[in-house]
Structure 1
Amino acid sequence: MKKILIGALSGAVVVGAIFFFVMYREEDANQEQEVKGKRTVSADMELINEQNSIEKVIRTTYEQRSYDLSDPLVISDPYSAAPLTALVKFETGEPLEITVTVKGKTKGTDIVKTYNGYDTSHAIPVLGLYPDHENTVIVAGESEDGVVKQKTLSVTTEPLPEGFLTTELIESDPTKMENGLTFLIPSSELAYAVDSNGDVRWYSTFPNSHVLKRMENSNLLYVTKKGDKYNLILEMDMLGQVANAYEVTVSNYEGWGIIHHDAIELPNGNILATAHDGTQYIEDEMIEIDRETGELVDQLNFREIMPEDFYQEYDGPSAEDGDWFHQNAIWFDEDEGDILVSSRHQSLIMEMSYPEGEIDYILAAYEGWPEDYQDYLLEPIGEDFKFPGGPHSVMTLPDFDNNDATKDIMLFDNNIAVTRGDESVSEEYSRGVQYRINTEEMTVKEIWSYGKERGENFFSKYVSDANYLSETGNRLITSGYTQLEDGTMRSIVVEVTGEEDPEVVYELKVTGFEEGDHRQIYRAVRMPLYPEKWDFNLGQTG
Structure 2
Amino acid sequence: MKKILSSALVAGMILSVGTTQALAIGGPSGAKIDWQIQGKLGAVKLNPYGLAPLTAIIMNNGYVLSNVFVKILPKEDGQIISYKVNDQVLKTYGGIPIFGLYPAYKNKVEVTYTKSAVGSKDETITETYQITTGPVGLTPSGLMMQTGMPFESVEVKKVDKEFSDRLYLINNVPGKMPGRGSQAVWNNPSGGALEWNDSSNAFIVDTKGEIRWYFDSDKILDPGNMYKTGIQMGFRQDIDGALAWGFGQRYVKYDLMGREIFNRQLPLGYNDFSHSLNNAQNGNYLLRVGSSNTKRPDGKNVRTVRDTIVEVDKDGNVVDDWRLYEILDPYRKDVILTLDQGAVCLNIDASKAGQTMSQEELAKLDDSDKFGDIVGTGPGRNWAHVNSVDYDPNDDSIVISSRHQSAMIKIGRDKKVKWIVGAHKGWSDKFKDKLLQPINSKGEKIICEDEYSKCPGYEDDKGGFDWTWTQHTAFIIDSKTNKDILYLAAFDNGDGRGLEQPAIPTMKYSRAVVYKIDQKNMTIEQIWEYGKERGGDWFSAVTSLTEYHDDKDSLLVYSATAGMHIDISKGVTIGDASPELLEFKWGAKEPSVQIKFTGTGIGYQAMPISLEKAFTK
TM-score by length of 2: 0.67
Query: Which residue of 291, 307, 316 corresponds with 1:277?
Result: 291
What is the Cα-based RMSD across aligned positions, in Å? 3.2
Determine if contact 1:174/1:196 at 8 Å carries over to the other structure.
Answer: no
Structure 2 residue matching 1:462: 3-state secondary structure:
coil
Shift of 1:324: 0.5
Partner of 2:82: 112
Partner of 1:218: 241
Partner of 1:525: 607
Paired residues for 1:126-525 under 5 Å: 126-142=98-114, 148-161=124-137, 162-166=147-151, 167-177=153-163, 179-187=165-173, 188-206=199-217, 209-224=232-247, 230-248=248-266, 258-278=272-292, 279=302, 281-292=304-315, 294-310=316-332, 317=341, 318-319=374-375, 322-354=381-413, 356-382=414-440, 383-397=463-477, 405-417=484-496, 420=499, 428-484=508-564, 486-500=574-588, 502-514=589-601, 520-525=602-607
Take 1:481 and 1:249, find their aligned partners in 2: how far apart are those partners?
A: 33
Gaps of 5+ in 2: 1-30, 138-146, 174-198, 219-230, 293-301, 342-373, 441-462, 566-573
Determine if contact 1:411/1:432 at 8 Å carries over to the other structure.
Answer: yes
Residue 86 to residue 313, structure 1, CA distance change in 2 (3 Å): closer
Partner of 1:75: 45
Determine if contact 1:165/1:511 at 8 Å carries over to the other structure.
Answer: no
Deviations 1:395-428 (A, max 9, x none): 122566x986322111111111279479689862
Determine if contact 1:102/1:128 at 8 Å carries over to the other structure.
Answer: yes
Q: Which moved more, 1:343-352 or 1:111-120?
A: 111-120
Determine if contact 2:53/2:214 at 8 Å carries over to the other structure.
Answer: yes
Determine if contact 2:172/2:202 at 8 Å carries over to the other structure.
Answer: yes
Take 2:160 and 2:387, find their aligned partners in 1: how far apart are those partners?
A: 31
Take 2:243 and 2:578, find their aligned partners in 1: how far apart are those partners?
A: 26
Deviations 1:353-407 (A, max 9, x none): 13x321111001011011221100001124331010001111122566x986322
* Structure 1 letter corresponding to 2:594: E
Partner of 2:364: none
Q: Which moved more, 1:186-195 or 1:455-464?
A: 186-195
Take 1:359 and 1:404, find their aligned partners in 2: how far apart are those partners?
A: 16
Shift of 1:265: 2.3
Higher RCO, 1 or 2 (CA under 8 Å, sep at least 6)? 1
Take 1:133 and 1:177, find their aligned partners in 2: how far apart are those partners?
A: 25
Structure 2 residue matching 1:190: 3-state secondary structure:
strand
Take 1:147 and 1:250, find their aligned partners in 2: how far apart are those partners?
A: 54
Gaps of 5+ in 1: 1-62, 225-229, 515-519, 536-542
Partner of 1:101: 71
Partner of 2:59: 89
Residue 429 to residue 495, structure 1, CA distance change in 2 (3 Å): same
Structure 1 residue matching 2:155: 3-state secondary structure:
strand
Residue 503 to residue 123, structure 1, CA distance change in 2 (3 Å): same
Take 1:134 and 1:457, find their aligned partners in 2: how far apart are those partners?
A: 39
* Structure 2 letter corresponding to 1:232: R
Shift of 1:213: 1.2
Take 1:330 and 1:496, find their aligned partners in 2: how far apart are those partners?
A: 23
Residue 420 to residue 281, structure 1, CA distance change in 2 (3 Å): farther
Deviations 1:407-462 (A, max 9, x none): 21111111112794796898621111011111111111110011111111111110
Take 1:210 and 1:532, find their aligned partners in 2: how far apart are those partners?
A: 20
Determine if contact 2:41/2:58 at 8 Å carries over to the other structure.
Answer: no
Residue 282 to residue 403, structure 1, CA distance change in 2 (3 Å): closer
Deviations 1:236-292 (A, max 9, x none): 111111111111387998xxxx21111122344332201111325311111223421
Deviations 1:511-531 (A, max 9, x none): 2244xxxxx221110122452
Residue 503 to residue 231, structure 1, CA distance change in 2 (3 Å): same
Deviations 1:174-228 (A, max 9, x none): 413275311101244210111110111011011662222111233211224xxxx
Shift of 1:469: 2.4
Q: Which moved more, 1:205-214 or 1:461-470?
A: 205-214
Take 1:411 and 1:251, find their aligned partners in 2: how far apart are those partners?
A: 30
Q: Which moved more, 1:405-414 or 1:481-490?
A: 481-490
Take 1:107 and 1:342, find their aligned partners in 2: how far apart are those partners?
A: 41
Take 2:97 and 2:109, find their aligned partners in 1: how far apart are those partners?
A: 11
Take 2:392 and 2:494, find their aligned partners in 1: how far apart are those partners?
A: 25
Determine if contact 1:100/1:112 at 8 Å carries over to the other structure.
Answer: yes
Structure 2 residue matching 1:211: 3-state secondary structure:
strand
> % of aligned pairs identical?
24
Structure 2 residue matching 1:298: 3-state secondary structure:
strand
Take 1:194 and 1:108, find their aligned partners in 2: how far apart are those partners?
A: 12
* Structure 2 letter corresponding to 1:84: L
Shift of 1:88: 1.3
Partner of 2:369: none
Deviations 1:324-356 (A, max 9, x none): 0000001112333211110000000011113x3
Determine if contact 2:333/2:426 at 8 Å carries over to the other structure.
Answer: no
Q: Which moved more, 1:175-184 or 1:322-331?
A: 175-184
Residue 275 to residue 93, structure 1, CA distance change in 2 (3 Å): closer
Take 1:214 and 1:403, find their aligned partners in 2: how far apart are those partners?
A: 23
* Structure 2 letter corresponding to 1:326: H
Partner of 1:47: none
Shift of 1:141: 1.4
Paired residues for 1:31-70 under 5 Å: 65=33, 70=40
Determine if contact 2:410/2:418 at 8 Å carries over to the other structure.
Answer: yes
Residue 275 to residue 69, structure 1, CA distance change in 2 (3 Å): same
Partner of 1:19: none
Take 2:165 and 2:551, find their aligned partners in 1: how far apart are those partners?
A: 8
Take 1:81 and 1:139, find their aligned partners in 2: how far apart are those partners?
A: 23
Q: Which moved more, 1:171-180 or 1:471-480?
A: 171-180
Take 1:276 and 1:361, find their aligned partners in 2: how far apart are those partners?
A: 23
Take 1:199 and 1:436, find their aligned partners in 2: how far apart are those partners?
A: 37
Determine if contact 2:334/2:499 at 8 Å carries over to the other structure.
Answer: no
Structure 2 residue matching 1:331: 3-state secondary structure:
strand
Determine if contact 2:236/2:244 at 8 Å carries over to the other structure.
Answer: yes
Shift of 1:142: 3.1
Take 1:348 and 1:497, find their aligned partners in 2: how far apart are those partners?
A: 27
Determine if contact 1:394/1:412 at 8 Å carries over to the other structure.
Answer: yes
Structure 2 residue matching 1:309: 3-state secondary structure:
coil
Determine if contact 1:128/1:529 at 8 Å carries over to the other structure.
Answer: no
Take 1:385 and 1:488, find their aligned partners in 2: how far apart are those partners?
A: 31
* Structure 2 letter corresponding to 1:164: M
